[in-house]
């Protein structure tokens, strides 16, 4: 596949200073490349038309298991210009921000007559992923400086040290914060997402205390700022931040 060949020949590792990525053996599940230096895994999705919020993926329960077991690959979204055989846009989605909320099952499994009957597909819902975790490596054919992409990537390193359930909560609250229209926002603005977060975490009955806890973590890690009690401000956007259409 031409796009896989391009990644193998041209792409560096966004997570470290390695200058290339290594393809995985054929039929490896849930990943297409690994970094030989830091071992970060990557899954490639490519198409000639723009990506929107939903990106088709594999089997639903398998994908949930990769998140629960911290084996989720980073997601490479490559958009190419078919006539010119050139990369138009390339985004990498940080795997720590792909929470269970971002994995949505398709409506029904394959029928009993299908070769893989009972197989239930899924897709990534990128609207559930914080834009700061979607880093633009190439935009409109112009590459972002690798050092800026890698610096932005490092701002999420702390998530890798968290258990999946804690990481999922933080990613979900950050995604809510980043949908707010104003850079400066109040605690009450985040409380408006209470029903959404309850739907994503049905086992938790203390949603508001959990929201406050996650905001404290986001302040500590520099992703938002506390202006005054109950008032916050989103940090300046990192290089390559992308909005999904």
Q: What is the pTM of this model?
A: 0.85
Distance CA 161, CA 96 (A): 10
CATH domain 2-156 topology: PvuII Endonuclease; Chain A (3.40.210)
Q: Nearest-CA neighbor of 172 among 161, 185, 181, 159?
A: 159
- pLDDT at residue number 240: 47
Stretch(es) of the chain classified as CATH 1.10.10.10: 164-234
- The number of helices, as runs of H, and strands, as runs of E, in the chain is 7, 13
Joined tokens for residue 157: 């390193």
Q: CB of 51 within 8 A of CB of 57?
A: no
Stretch(es) of the chain classified as CATH 3.40.210.30: 2-156
164-234 has CATH 1.10.10.10 classification: yes
pLDDT tens for each residue of 17-70 = 999 999 999 878 778 999 999 999 999 999 999 998 899 988 898 889 999 888
């Amino acid at each position: 596949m031409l796009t896989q060949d391009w990644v193998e020949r041209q792409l560096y590792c966004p997570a470290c200073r390695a200058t290339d990525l290594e393809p995985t053996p054929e039929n490896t599940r849930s990943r297409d490349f690994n970094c030989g230096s830091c071992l970060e895994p990557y899954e490639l999705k490519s198409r000639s038309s723009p990506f929107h919020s939903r990106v088709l993926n594999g089997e639903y329960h398998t994908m949930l298991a990769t998140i629960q077991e911290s084996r989720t690959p980073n997601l490479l979204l490559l958009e190419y210009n078919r006539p010119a055989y050139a990369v138009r846009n390339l985004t990498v989605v940080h795997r720590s921000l792909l929470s269970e909320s971002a994995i949505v099952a398709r409506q029904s499994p394959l029928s009993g007559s299908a070769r893989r009957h009972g197989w239930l597909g899924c897709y990534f819902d990128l609207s559930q992923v914080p834009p700061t975790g979607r880093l633009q490596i190439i935009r409109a054919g112009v590459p972002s400086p690798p050092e800026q992409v890698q610096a932005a990537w490092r701002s999420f390193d702390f998530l890798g040290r968290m258990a999946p359930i804690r990481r999922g909560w933080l990613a979900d609250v950050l995604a809510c914060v980043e949908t707010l229209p104003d850079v400066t926002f109040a605690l009450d603005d985040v409380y408006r997402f209470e029903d959404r977060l309850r739907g994503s975490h049905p086992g938790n009955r203390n949603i508001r205390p959990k929201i406050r806890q996650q905001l404290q973590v986001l302040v500590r890690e520099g992703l938002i700022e506390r202006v005054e009690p109950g008032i916050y401000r989103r940090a300046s956007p990192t290089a390559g931040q992308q909005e999904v259409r």
